[in-house]
Chains A and B, each alone.
Chain A
Amino acid sequence: MVPLGFLAVFFLWPVAAIIQRGLGSSGLARVLGSSDTWAVVLFTVAQAAASTVVAVIAAMPVAFLLARCALPGIAVVRAAILVPFVLPTVVVGLAFRSLMPDGGVLSIVLANAFFNVAVVARTVAGLWSHLDRRAEDAARALGASPLRAFTSVTLPALRPAIGSAAAIVFLFCATSFGVVLLLGGARYRTLETEIYLRTVDLLDLSGAAALSLIQITAVVSVLVLAALARRRRETAMALRARTETTRRPRGGEWWVAGAAYAVVASLMVPIVALVVRSLSTSDGWGLEGYRALSGTGFRGSLQISGIDAAMNSLRAATDATLLALVLGVSASVVLVSLGRSRAHPGFVDTLDTALMLPLGVSAVTVGFGYLITLDALPGDLRTSAALVPLAQAIVVTPLVIRMILPVLRSVDPRLRQAAGSLGASPWRVWREVDIPLAGRSLLAAAAFGFVVALGEFGATSFLARPDSATLPVVIGRLISRPGELNNQMAYAACTMLMVVTVAVVLLVERLRVRSVGEF
């Protein structure tokens, strides 16, 4: 109940308050009756669907590479694909604009997919690497082609992971804000940018509330559909340790691995462009941008130094990750226990869906909601530095749940029954069976959550106080000031963010190898 309480106070209440504030007048009817609104809805759904398809297609070979191939450098690939996820949208927007000057819709779709390939690849690989190879091998022995074995044996087993990753990516793309605002300008508008413009520029709260309601309705329907898909397909599976399931690619598998490397290489293009920008000066190459990070920019553009901001980022992301892990794991355990007991499945699904909602609600709605509700709590949290990790945890918790839950649900009940009949208490069963089996996903979720919190920009920029500014906020600030040094610093800070991400993920990989004994 703790996660639900937290969600209620720091999410549902602020959002409900801001929507209620908007519903007093005739806003809903006005907005619903406008054909302009429905054009925006259509564009939102279409670009999100296209981006999701692109992300899934690009991610499947990468997932294969991560899950099934024993090749050197896999850990680096696993870390590198997460880098796009932490980059501030304003910087990625500028990078895509310089790579595709007249990109329009295409650049929006590609940029959204760029951000999200890692979500699909890592979620799917997480399950894939535990799948028993023997079913597939049996199909091959019975004469199925490799493709046939994949589509009729492996793919169905992977469907829960693909489905839930695709649902999350769809939500991310449908609510992506910075990319659309930057690459779409005023021509291509989504519900999210419309809500932002109406709230922040026009103070048209009734219009924004109406659009928020449309967005929330759409998000809930996506989540319900995803939950239905999951319910039919999440079945107990025999999970295997990764060491048993990987090998060097054979025959046609090399093509798939090659495609995966090609995807990774294309993800690196905007990233390399950013690194090159950070190193180039008006007269050639130089490290001025990096050196300047210890200061506050050209004529003190920043309140704190780049290094301080990096420390703030690490601190806030650590707090947010711990909070999100506690919330996410306890919520997942509750959901799985409810699912195993005779609780009504509809109730479990509703709870599950409610916990996913933060992924689909506009950050600006939440931010403005905080302003008008949290003064009722003691200590006026609205002006507290603790708001940043709290808000980041709201963003990260659903991701943790989505990464832990499928694994916990796939734990073979017979293992638990065996433990129980040998006299283990329910708590001991969790500790000895479920958590070790989910341990790998837990670490992956922690790393993933950490880098998401590290790169979070929307809510953080709204809530961070000057002394608690994070690296992405500082990058946003530097890029909006004239002066060559500020620009170099912004790109250098981006590079630093990328390096920290890769380091964190590699560290987790290292830890994981040592804990393989769990299996």
Chain B
Amino acid sequence: MRRLFTLTAVALSVAMTASCSLFGSDATDGKVVLVTHDSFEYDQAVFDKFKADTGITVEVRKSGDAGALTNQLVLTKASPLGDVAFGVDNTFASRALNEGVFAEYRSPEADKGPQRYAVDDTGRLTAVDFGDVCVNVDPAALAAANVPAPTSLEDLADPKYKDLLVVEDPATSSPGLAFLLATVSQYGQKDFQGYWARLKANGVKVVSGWEEAYTQEFSGSSGKGKRPLVVSYASSPSAELDDKGKPRTAALLDTCFKQVEYAGVLTGAKNTEGARKVLDLLLSADFQSKVPDKMYVYPTREGVQLPAAWAAAPPAENAATLPAPDIAANRERWIEQWRAAVRG
């Protein structure tokens, strides 16, 4: 008898789950919860128009950075925090995929550009935006010191640029980690430590986070620090404008590492149908055209008009990348090796 009861309960719940995913949009109250990281910003007008078109209210729930977000999604996969997630990046993607956090959904919008940045061919994560972590320079300060701007990673180890570079610690900072990955990508697993030993000999300064590096050490920001070379983003110069609206700083486009941010429908979402529509929204021309101004990164959709100020700070054409599984497998070891080379 008891067994029969259990079986009935199981059958009922399976039926209910199935009906939920089949007729999801009817069963819920037209709300989709978008789980994301602290840096997610959006234009409310785009979400309002989406609501007028589809009846779906998007509720945004932010917490932590990309790493914290990924780990939250893993921890809560049995009872997800929302329906769709945005902000897992290429350094954390494998962890989320291995843990089965995301369900398959290939958006029709993905063919309009985002597919170029796909992490694999399972269609569980779709690229929404990308940014480049690059060395930024303060040309005025370099001119005053009478040295030409460096152009490559190799230049940074040149004695001409002794004591001029400040970088973030890859153990505590995500641009710091991206820059470490740029050097791994360029010099390979065997030689990147040697490169960092040369940087160390050349007086590289390591600080714990982007805030300190950029707003305190870098001479080109409002903090007016001492060092004219800093690891930041390709888009940072567009925020450092002079009286004429021209950037005072520049990014070295041959020193970049590409960070791609993905979105996906969560496994076990309450409103799968709505979540898919929200994913389509994130890839739509409306949303993508606001991505640069709101989040300082580039849209993955092709043919999206960039703001005028961004013309002066173009994206890197050949930013370095590494396969996500390689990053996932080696991240800790590389950081340890980095620490051995730089902390000595």
* Contact mask for chain B residues 206-241; partner A; CB cutoff 8 A; 1 contact, 0 none: 111111101110000111000000001100100110
Docked Cα-Cα span, A282 to B221, in Å, equals 10
Asked if B171 contacts A368 (CB within 8 A), the reply is: no
Tell me whether B41 and A383 are in contact (CB under 8 A). Answer: no
Interface members, chain B 72-102 (any A CB < 8 Å): 72, 74-76, 79, 81-82, 95
Residues of chain A within 8 A of B343, CB atoms compared: 186-187
Is A345 an interface residue when CB atoms closer than 8 A count as contact? no
A-B contact count (CB 8 A): 118
Report yes or no: B239 in contact with A482, Cβ–Cβ below 8 A.
yes
Residues of chain A within 8 A of B63, CB atoms compared:
367, 461-464
| Residues of the A chain whose Cβ atoms lie less than 8 Å from the Cβ of B95 | 203
Contact B211 A479 (CB under 8 A): yes
Contact between A482 and B236 (Cβ–Cβ < 8 Å)? yes
Q: Name the B residues within 8 Å of A367 (CB-CB).
A: 63
Complex contact A199–B212 (CB within 8 A): no
Question: Distance (Å) between the CB of B140 and the closest chain A CB?
Answer: 12
Task: Scan A166-199; emit 1 where CB is below 8 A from any B CB, else 0.
Answer: 0000000000000001111111000000000101
Q: Are the C-beta atoms of B222 and A481 separated by less than 8 Å?
A: no
Q: Given A300-B293, A482-B221, do A477 and B38 touch, yes or no (CB 8 Å)? A: yes
CB-contact partner of B209 in A182, A281, A375, under 8 A = A182
User: B62: which A residues are within 8 A, CB to CB?
Assistant: 464-466
| Closest residue on chain B to residue A205 by CB atoms | B75
Residues 120-138 of chain A, each 1 if its beta carbon lies under 8 Å from chain B, else 0: 0000000000000000000
Indicate if A480 sits at the interface (CB-CB under 8 A): yes
Interface size on B, residues (CB 8 A): 51
The answer to whether A481 and B239 touch (CB under 8 A), given A186-B169, A383-B61, A466-B60, is yes
Residue from B39, B64, B171, B212 in contact with A197 in the complex, judged by beta carbons closer than 8 Å: B171
Say whether B332 faces chain A, with CB atoms less than 8 Å apart.
yes
Which of A47-55, A90-98, A141-149, A403-411 lies at the binding interface?
A90-98
Q: Which interface residue of A201, A281, A300, A302 has the most chain B CB atoms within 10 A?
A: A201
How close is A35's CB to chain B, nearest CB, in angstroms?
A: 16
Q: Which residues of A contact B171 (CB under 8 A)?
A: 186, 197, 201
Measured CB to CB, the closest approach of chain A to B229, in angstroms, equals 15
A242 within 8 A of B: no
A180-234 contacts to B, CB under 8 A, are 181-187, 197, 199-203
* Closest A residue by C-beta to B76: A371
Residues in A with CB closer than 8 Å to B223 are 487
A488 near B222: Cβ-Cβ < 8 Å: yes
Let me know if A484 is at the binding interface, CB within 8 A: yes
Is A483 on the interface with B (CB-CB < 8 A)? yes
Q: Is B339 an interface residue (CB 8 A)?
A: yes
Interface 1/0 per residue, B292-319 and A, CB below 8 Å: 0110100000000000000000000000
A200 to B81, CA, bound (A): 17
Contact check, A368 vs B75: say whether CB atoms are below 8 A apart. yes
**B68 located at the interface, meaning its Cβ lies under 8 Å from any Cβ of chain A in the complex:** yes
Distance, CA A481 to CA B215, complexed state (A)? 9
CB-CB < 8 A to A182: which residues of B?
208-209, 212
- Report the separation of the CA atoms of residues A461 and B210 in the bound assembly, to the nearest whole angstrom: 18
The answer to whether the Cβ of A312 comes within 8 Å of any Cβ in the partner chain is no
Decide if the interface of chain A is mainly helix, strand, loop or mixed.
Answer: helix
Asked whether B207 lies within 8 Å of A94 as measured between CB atoms, the reply is no
- Size bracket, chain A contacts: 35 or more
Distance (Å) between the CB of A412 and the closest chain B CB?
Answer: 50
Query: Is the CB of A301 closer than 8 A to any CB of chain B?
Result: yes
| B-side contacts of A93, CB under 8 Å | 212
- Is A299 in contact with B293, judged by CB distance below 8 angstroms? yes
Q: Is B67 an interface residue (CB 8 A)?
A: yes
Question: Smallest distance from the beta carbon of A403 to chain B beta carbons, Å?
Answer: 31
A488 to B239, CA, bound (A): 14
Q: Is the CB of A97 within 8 A of B38?
A: no
Given contacts A97-B216, A371-B81, contact A480 B61 (CB under 8 A): no
- When distances are taken between beta carbons in the complex, the residues of chain A under 8 Å from B76 are 371-372, 375, 382
Q: Give Cα A54–Cα B149 distance, bound, in whole angstroms.
A: 46
Interchain CB contact under 8 A, A300 and B41: yes
B337 at the A interface (CB under 8 A): no
Closest to B242 in A: A282
Do A487 and B215 have beta carbons less than 8 Å apart? Answer: yes
Chain A positions 29-79 with a Cβ under 8 Å from a chain B Cβ? none
- Residues of chain B within 8 A (CB-CB) of A372 are 75-76
Please give, as numbers and ranges, the residues of chain B lying within 8 Å of A299 by CB-CB distance: 239, 293-294
Which residues of B sit under 8 angstroms from A301, Cβ to Cβ? 41
**Identity of the chain B residue whose Cβ is nearest the Cβ of A200 in the assembled complex:** B68
B190 to chain A, nearest CB (A): 23
B212 is contacted by which of A94, A300, A461, A465 (Cβ under 8 Å)? A94
Bound CA–CA A187/B206 (angstroms): 11
Q: Is the CB of A487 within 8 A of B60?
A: no
Binary contact readout A377-388 vs B (1 if CB under 8 angstroms, 0 otherwise): 000001100000
Of residues 41 through 69 on chain B, the ones whose CB sits less than 8 Å from some CB of chain A are 41, 43, 59-65, 67-68
Residues of chain A from 440 to 488 with CB closer than 8 A to chain B in the complex: 461-466, 477, 479-484, 486-488
A94-B67 CB under 8 A given contacts A186-B171, A375-B76, A382-B81: no
In the bound complex, how far is the Cα of B62 from the Cα of A181, in angstroms?
A: 22
Complex contact B215–A94 (CB within 8 A) = yes
Interchain CB contact (< 8 A) of A186 among B43, B59, B172: B172
Query: Which residues of the partner chain A approach B25 to less than 8 Å between Cβ atoms?
Result: none
Residues of A within 8 A of B65 (CB): 200
Q: Chain B's nearest CB lies how many Å from the CB of A375?
A: 5
**Cβ of B216 and Cβ of A482 under 8 Å apart?**
no
- Across the interface, which residues of B come within 8 angstroms of A298, CB to CB? 239
B321 touches A (CB below 8 Å)? no
Q: Is B81 in contact with A94, judged by CB distance below 8 angstroms?
A: no
Question: B208 contacts A185, CB within 8 Å?
Answer: yes
Residues of A within 8 A of B41 (CB): 300-303
Asked if B202 is at the interface of the complex by the 8 Å CB criterion, the answer is no
Q: A197-B171, A482-B232, A482-B239 are in contact. Are A203 and B71 (CB under 8 A)?
A: yes
CA A463 to CA B64, docked complex, whole Å: 9
Once the chains bind, are A484 and B38 in contact (CB under 8 Å)?
Answer: no
Report the minimum CB–CB distance from A65 to chain B (whole Å): 34
**Contact between B60 and A375, CB atoms less than 8 A apart:** no
Q: A201-B171, A487-B223 are in contact. List 4 more A-B contacts (CB 8 A).
A: A97-B216, A371-B72, A480-B210, A488-B222
Q: Can you spell out 26 A-B residue pairs with CB atoms less than 8 angstroms apart?
A: A97-B212, A181-B172, A183-B208, A184-B208, A185-B169, A185-B172, A186-B169, A186-B172, A200-B65, A300-B41, A303-B41, A372-B76, A383-B61, A383-B82, A462-B68, A480-B39, A480-B210, A481-B239, A481-B296, A482-B214, A482-B296, A483-B240, A484-B221, A487-B221, A487-B223, A488-B222
Chain A interfacial positions (CB closer than 8 Å to B): 21, 90, 93-94, 97-98, 181-187, 197, 199-203, 281-282, 298-303, 367-368, 371-372, 375, 382-383, 461-466, 477, 479-484, 486-488
- The 4 residue pairs across chains A and B that have the minimum distance between CB atoms: A484-B222, A483-B239, A482-B239, A185-B208
